[in-house]
Structure 1
Amino acid sequence: MNHAFSRSARLTKFALASCLALSVFSSPAKAADPQKVTIMVGGITKLIYLPARLTEQLGYFKDEGLDVELLSQPAGVDAENELLAGAVQAVVGFYDHSIDLQAKGKEVRAIVVFGQVPGEVEMVASSQAATIKSMADVKGKTLGVTGLGSSTNFLTQYLAHLNGISSSQYSVLPVGADNSFIAAIKQNRIDAGMTTEPTVSQLLKSGDAKVLVDMRDVAGTRAALGGTYPASSLYVQSAWLDTHKDEAAKLARAFVRTLQYLHTHSADEIAAQMPKDYYGSDKALYVSALKASLPMYTVDGKMPADGPDTVLKVLAGFNPSVKDKHIDLSRTFTNQFVNQVK
């Protein structure tokens, strides 16, 4: 009796265990947790960096299984510092930082190129327009940039250098972007300065500033710099890239998808995807600025063929630390991940 009961109990336990095992293996697999990536943007409301927030708004990060957090700093150099400190995994900023940093012994690499031109404009305060008619006239003037060591600072120095003006002959004042740049113009703290859309359109509409050098399209950029100037991009530390190729590939797919969206939708349709605080009370101005900016975006995220050489020429033109170093441009960017996108 006891023996039969013991055998029955063992069979019952075996049956229960088998059912439990089957239920475990037949149940749907738990979805993997999204891969967390924090990206610092050098001024998230700037149209040159539009792909960052637009990709989030369109849900393309989530489609790739990524949990992306977007943070913002007013200047690209601040975003770069966050990357080097390990506080973020990637930066949406200007490609030229990868060359500047290699000269300083640090390795970062652009993996998606958003802009084939800077999208930057040197604006002159209307009160100074009669005396500053080109960059040859900035001697003794105060020029605004987003931050010291920023790409706006690089470009300002080069444009002055091209016109025979050394960096000791004018002052540079970091004034940030957007409203802080507009305030600097209105308060006469700067005589001219470099900024992007939609700030350019806001200053033109108010009449507070005029265009001095326009690098919002390929023609204007070639006239100013002698070639295309790949600018806004997604860059990461090379050491991170070596161990996170899966995340890099997913980021590339998400961003290329956004670049394709930009070239297949109207400015009105794109603006409708953005948060209201991006255009405030003047959506028409934002749409107009966006429409003018669309040609600057690449279609496929690839580095323009003549781009790295132009950027190196610009930086070496005024920066001795770049001029005197051998820069291996092949280590400053890669098309590996965007080439995989169908």
Structure 2
Amino acid sequence: MNPFRKVSLAGAMLAVLAVPGAALAADGGGKITIMVGGATKIIYLPARLTEQLGYFREEGLDVEIQSQPAGVDAENELLAGAVQGVVGFYDHTIDLQSKGKEVEAVVVFGQVPGEAEMVATKAAAQIKSMADVKGKTLGVTGLGSSTNFLTQYLAFRAGVSSSQFTVLPVGADNTFIAAIRQGRIDAGMTTEPTISQLLKTGEAQVLVDMRTVEGTTQALGGLYPASSLYMQRAWVDSHKDQVQKLARAFVKTLRYMKTHTPDEIAQKMPKDYYGNNRELYVKALGASLPMFTSDGKMPAGGPETVLKVLASFDPTVKGKHIELARTYTNAFVDQAK
């Protein structure tokens, strides 16, 4: 190891120990760690794709992408100061504001959730709509996750209270598939490519589809901005140059996704993202691309829909005054043009 680098690392460690909350910070040339609530989920594709395309490096950024199975776990890492940003659902910014935490989305990737409530084929005869989930066990990625928020709202809208069904955290990808296969859940909410995998094997069917604008509007009453990069407001305010570079890198990626085929995009991704199911991955990617924004901006009316959803059942949000303007900003993506 270069001795000067060793001294530099030691100095950085001392700085972190000496200054409360220093782990939150990264100076002009420091590493930025972004936690993703399930990096292999297609809804969060822009995080890894930006890295693969080299856009972080082009902006002079040192970015590390880490993954947690559920968005709520990534949120906790952000609040603890272990990471500088989260690629997760925008609805966490509203939920956190109701708890006195100032977090804002600085780039919006998805204008819809990209999720589907899947019902196990062996339970499909009993569950034909969300009104039929009384007494059933529904899978979510984690308690307090966005899949949990949406599950509760869909049931609420169908006249079923959260006390009338059981929620079981089962993660995503293979653990979700295993929960369906083993009969531990009757239905559950997940994303691509898991949705396509279950449809291919015939082990589950789509009950509520929120992968499209039309399906989301029907299920939730409007656009539901979802996957986004959100950060603590204090960090954004003190690191505007770095946030601007991040926004520029992500907007480049969103443009790339709009101008390249699913197959071309898949070629850029690590092989372990699709394993032996590349054809299935490309198909799922093609079905998912319309959910993404082209400019990273918050869609008009989106925050209001999210607030309506959360305020209908979340006791921490219900009845609280939420300043939606403080839960997101378009300032950085506007400059990215």
TM-score (norm 1): 0.90
The equivalent position to 1:336 in structure 2, one of 312, 323, 331, is: 331
Matched with 2:150 is: 155
The equivalent position to 1:209 in structure 2, one of 174, 196, 204, is: 204
The letter for the 2-side match of 1:171 is: T
Matched with 1:275 is: 270
Structure 1 SS opposite 2:275 = coil
Q: CA deviation at 1:88?
A: 0.1
Structure 1 vs Structure 2 CA RMSD: 0.9
The count of corresponding residues between Structure 1 and Structure 2 is 311
Q: CA deviation at 1:320?
A: 2.2
Could you tell me whether the CA contact under 8 Å between 1:256 and 1:341 is conserved in 2?
yes
Q: CA deviation at 1:33?
A: 8.1
The letter for the 2-side match of 1:339 is: D
The equivalent position to 2:247 in structure 1, one of 241, 247, 252, is: 252
The letter for the 2-side match of 1:300 is: D
Structure 2 SS opposite 1:320 = coil
Matched, 1:70 2:65: yes
Could you tell me whether the CA contact under 8 Å between 2:118 and 2:206 is conserved in 1?
yes
Matched, 1:307 2:315: no
Q: How does 1:1-342 map to 2 (within 5 A)?
A: 34-342=29-337
CA–CA distance in structure 2, aligned partners of residues 279 and 120 of structure 1: 18
CA–CA distance in structure 1, aligned partners of residues 142 and 315 of structure 2: 20
Structure 1 SS opposite 2:331 = coil
- After TM superposition, the structure 1 stretch with the greater mean CA deviation from structure 2, 34-43 or 91-100, is 34-43
Residues 280-323 of structure 1 show CA distances to partners (whole Å, capped at 9, x for unaligned) of 00100000000000000000000001100000000001112211
Q: CA deviation at 1:35?
A: 3.6
Q: CA deviation at 1:34?
A: 4.2
Structure 1 SS opposite 2:151 = helix
CA–CA distance in structure 1, aligned partners of residues 29 and 130 of structure 2: 49
CA–CA distance in structure 1, aligned partners of residues 187 and 242 of structure 2: 41
Could you tell me whether the CA contact under 8 Å between 1:35 and 1:247 is conserved in 2?
no
Matched with 1:4 is: none
Gaps of 5+ in 2: 1-26
Gaps of 5+ in 1: 1-31
The letter for the 1-side match of 2:135 is: G
CA–CA distance in structure 2, aligned partners of residues 167 and 246 of structure 1: 44
Q: CA deviation at 1:36?
A: 1.3
Residues 121-164 of structure 1 show CA distances to partners (whole Å, capped at 9, x for unaligned) of 00000000001000000000000000000000000000000000
CA–CA distance in structure 1, aligned partners of residues 131 and 232 of structure 2: 37
Could you tell me whether the CA contact under 8 Å between 1:123 and 1:192 is conserved in 2?
yes
Look at both structures and tell me which one has the larger radius of gyration over its CA atoms: 1
CA–CA distance in structure 1, aligned partners of residues 63 and 135 of structure 2: 45
The letter for the 1-side match of 2:33 is: T
Could you tell me whether the CA contact under 8 Å between 1:35 and 1:65 is conserved in 2?
no
Structure 2 SS opposite 1:143 = strand
